[in-house]
């Protein structure tokens, strides 16, 4: 297949591009390199030494003999170039990772809120409008998030894969309808992902676009079999207060002897997936697209759920590092249950990597190996959800 990987220089996009190339697909990365620019803005860097995109592609050619193309393009701002690119490449499939993806960053300031909405909503809509305008019948796979469902539902009813069957009372009796699960975003970032869902529903029905929306959990882990082939292919590992997801933060904190920072009680339950399974899930979704005219297919792309406090205990038990409880900068339920249906990927052959198998390798091969690159002052989350709330102080001198 000819595949465009939008956002293919990012944490999920780069290993996905390599995985698809390794399978023999003709891959072109499209990225405006905004994520690298945000690193400069925040004065942070990936814990792992990621190389410039042209060097990554050159090294991949050396180790695999395979070509990956690269087009620097801003999906949110360069609509005409996007149309021209689609007409030139005529892709069979498109994977769309190209959005601002950090909830804390999206809540950092008025500027960051507006940027996140402008970038994400326009990028997705430009893509859909361009596909409809060009008539290119590519299978589109988008990376959404479990956060569109929200984490505040009480009780332990399982979260279905995208759609809910509701019963309506009518004068003629009971009627059943399948609707999108109600959205309950917890940040401006998550809000953009809920808006994406409506745009997908509209373009699937109005223009018969074939769309799969993957409601992904928090991705952990760094390497895939492809990124491990040469150190210059290494994937990014974000540990800072805005982009570092909770488990990566604990792993890195443990490696440098920093207390593991749990926000609030740690009773928040979240869904997780290893990066190796992310790339497999994207492949499975590409191989099983919906029919034209069908509603968007939704898969819950998660393999495990854990309470944040239990994750901290796990890492603390493996490394001996203490746990520190900090005030929660987010507006969210203190504790929540989370039961998620993920039958569709398992039925299509996904064999998940569990935390118990992969955690130790992350500690020794990534966090400890690159700990000399850490700036410990960047670890604590600086973005707060409540106006006027103080940020937590540094726990290091
Ligand atoms: P990332 O920030 O590392 O990668 C996103 C890439 O998209 C970056 O390289 C960035 O430069 C590019 N990009 C952003 N806006 C663009 C634009 N307007 N035009 C062109 N390129 C643009 O993020 P990631 O962690 O790889 O996440 C990828 C996708 O997966 C995101 O949509 C995110 O919401 C979703 N997701 C990620 C996680 C996670 O834990 N990382 C969890 C759930 C969902």
Minimum-distance ligand 1 atom for the alpha carbon of 214: 44
Q: What is the pLDDT of residue 386?
A: 77
E-assigned strands of the chain?
A: 2-6, 26-31, 68-72, 93-96, 139-145, 163-170, 173-180, 210-216, 218-220, 260-263, 269-274, 297-301, 304-307, 323-326
Q: What is the pLDDT of residue 395?
A: 60
Tens-digit pLDDT profile for residues 233-266: 999 999 998 999 889 889 988 988 989 999 889 8
Q: What is the pLDDT of residue 154?
A: 65
Homologous superfamily in CATH for domain 2-222+271-302+339-352: NAD(P)-binding Rossmann-like Domain (3.40.50.720)
The angle formed by the CA atoms of residues 12, 267 and 195, to the nearest 5 degrees, is 45
Q: What is the pLDDT of residue 42?
A: 95
* Residue from 34, 50, 281 whose mutation best tests the ligand 1 pocket (most atoms within 8 A of CB): 34
Distance 217 CA to ligand 1 centre (A): 13
Residue 189 annotated as catalytic: yes
Distance 167 CA to ligand 1 centre (A): 37
* Residue from 6, 10, 189 whose mutation best tests the ligand 1 pocket (most atoms within 8 A of CB): 10
* Residue from 5, 9, 12 whose mutation best tests the ligand 1 pocket (most atoms within 8 A of CB): 12
Task: Determine the Cα–Cα distance for residues 15 and 33; give it in Å rounded to an integer.
Answer: 16
Residue 170 has pLDDT above 80, yes or no: yes
Residue 389 has pLDDT above 80, yes or no: no
Residue 284 has pLDDT above 70, yes or no: yes
Tens-digit pLDDT profile for residues 1-58: 999 999 999 999 999 999 999 999 999 999 999 999 999 999 999 999 999 999 999 9
Q: Which of 16, 115, 193, 261 does the annotation list as catalytic?
A: 193
Cβ–Cβ contacts within 10 Å for residue 313, how many? 15
292 — pLDDT class (breaks 50, 70, 90): very high
Minimum-distance ligand 1 atom for the alpha carbon of 37: 11
Domain boundaries, the chain: 2-222+271-302+339-352
Tens-digit pLDDT profile for residues 69-82: 999 999 999 999 99
The angle formed by the CA atoms of residues 367, 268 and 394, to the nearest 5 degrees, is 50
Residue nearest to atom 30 of ligand 1 (CA): 143
Residue 397 has pLDDT above 60, yes or no: no
Tens-digit pLDDT profile for residues 333-386: 878 888 889 999 999 999 999 888 888 888 888 999 999 999 988 887 778 887
Pairing of strands 68-72, 163-170: unpaired
Q: What is the pLDDT of residue 185?
A: 95
Pairing of strands 26-31, 93-96: unpaired
Distance 99 CA to ligand 1 centre (A): 5
Distance 301 CA to ligand 1 centre (A): 15
Residue 126 has pLDDT above 80, yes or no: yes
Q: Which of 149, 151, 189, 243 does the annotation list as catalytic?
A: 189
Residue nearest to atom 21 of ligand 1 (CA): 31
Residue nearest to atom 42 of ligand 1 (CA): 218
Distance 298 CA to ligand 1 centre (A): 19
Average pLDDT of the chain? 93
Distance 321 CA to ligand 1 centre (A): 31
Tens-digit pLDDT profile for residues 138-160: 999 999 999 999 887 766 688 99
Cβ < 6 A, ligand 1 pocket: 7, 9-13, 31-35, 74-76, 97-101, 119, 123, 143, 145, 216, 218-219, 245
Q: What is the pLDDT of residue 344?
A: 92
Rounded to two decimals, what is the model's pTM? 0.95
Minimum-distance ligand 1 atom for the alpha carbon of 34: 11
| ipTM field | 0.99
Distance 31 CA to ligand 1 centre (A): 10
Q: What is the pLDDT of residue 392?
A: 64
CB 3 within 8 A of CB 28: yes
Residue 145 annotated as catalytic: yes
Percentage of the chain exceeding pLDDT 90:
79
Q: Measured in Å, how far apart are the chain's first and last C-alpha atoms?
A: 53
């Amino acid at each position: 297949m000819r595949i465009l990987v939008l956002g293919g220089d990012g944490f999920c996009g780069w290993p996905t591009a390599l995985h698809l190339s390794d399978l023999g697909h003709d891959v072109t990365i499209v990225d405006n390199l905004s994520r690298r620019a945000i690193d400069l803005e925040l004065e942070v860097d990936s814990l792992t030494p990621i190389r410039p995109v042209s060097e990554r592609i050159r090294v991949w050619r050396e180790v695999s003999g395979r070509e990956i193309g690269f087009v620097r393009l801003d999906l949110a701002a360069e609509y005409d170039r996007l149309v021209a690119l689609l007409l030139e490449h005529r892709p069979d499939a498109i994977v769309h990772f190209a959005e601002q993806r950090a909830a804390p960053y999206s809540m950092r300031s008025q500027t960051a809120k507006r940027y996140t909405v402008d970038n994400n909503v326009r990028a997705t809509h430009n893509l859909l409008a361009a596909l409809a305008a060009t008539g290119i019948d590519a299978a589109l796979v988008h990376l959404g998030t479990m956060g569109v469902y929200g984490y505040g539902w009480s009780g332990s009813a399982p979260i279905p894969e995208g759609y809910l069957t509701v019963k309506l009372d009518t004068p003629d009796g009971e009627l059943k309808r399948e609707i999108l699960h109600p959205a309950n975003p917890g940040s401006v970032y998550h809000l953009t992902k809920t808006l994406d869902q409506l745009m997908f529903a509209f373009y699937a029905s109005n223009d018969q676009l074939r769309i799969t929306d993957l409601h992904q959990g928090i991705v952990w882990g760094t390497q895939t079999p492809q990124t491990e082939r040469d150190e210059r292919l290494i994937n990014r590992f974000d540990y800072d207060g805005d982009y570092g997801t909770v488990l990566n933060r604990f792993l890195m904190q443990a490696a440098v002897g920093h207390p593991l920072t749990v926000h609030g009680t740690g009773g928040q339950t979240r869904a997780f997936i290893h990066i190796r399974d992310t790339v497999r899930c994207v492949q499975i979704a590409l191989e099983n697209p919906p029919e034209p005219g069908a509603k968007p297919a939704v898969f819950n792309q998660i393999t495990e759920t854990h309470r944040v406090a239990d994750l901290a205990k796990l890492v603390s038990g493996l490394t001996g590092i203490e746990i520190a409880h900090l005030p929660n900068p987010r507006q969210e339920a203190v504790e929540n249950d989370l039961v998620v249906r993920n039958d569709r990927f398992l039925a299509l052959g996904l064999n998940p990597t569990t935390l118990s198998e992969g955690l130790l390798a992350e500690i020794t091969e990534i966090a400890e190996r690159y700990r000399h690159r850490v700036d410990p002052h960047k670890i604590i989350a600086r973005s707060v959800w409540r106006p006027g709330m103080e940020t937590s102080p540094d726990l290091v001198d």
